[in-house]
Amino acid sequence: MLREGPTVGAALERYADERTAAGAHLLELGRRMGRTQVDETPDWAAMGQGEVDAWFRGVLAGTRHYPYARPAPGG
């Protein structure tokens, strides 16, 4: 940002804008995961690995977070 900005102030403002957006995205992801784990707690003991993966894919649908950055084929 410092190399690209015309001034230090402009570069820091651009950096803050981008980081604020990223932070808001992560906050929403945390809230989404909290709701699904607390309000709609899965029966973890009854789930196999494939079911756990499918659950996480559903929770993270539309996000850009590893390991489910893209929708699974057919899902």
What is the full per-residue pLDDT of the chain (75 aa) written as tens digits?
A: 888 889 999 999 998 888 888 788 888 888 888 888 888 888 999 999 999 989 888 888 877 665 545 554 554
* Same-domain check for residues 6 and 36: yes
Same structural domain, 6 and 26: yes
Domain that holds residue 24: 1-41
Residues 36 and 47 in one domain: no
pLDDT number for residue 8:
93
Residue for token pair 């489910």: 68
What pLDDT score does 68 carry? 47
Pick from 24, 23, 27, 57: nearest CA to 42:
57
Q: Are residues 27 and 11 in the same domain?
A: yes
Q: Do 7 and 37 lie in a common domain?
A: yes
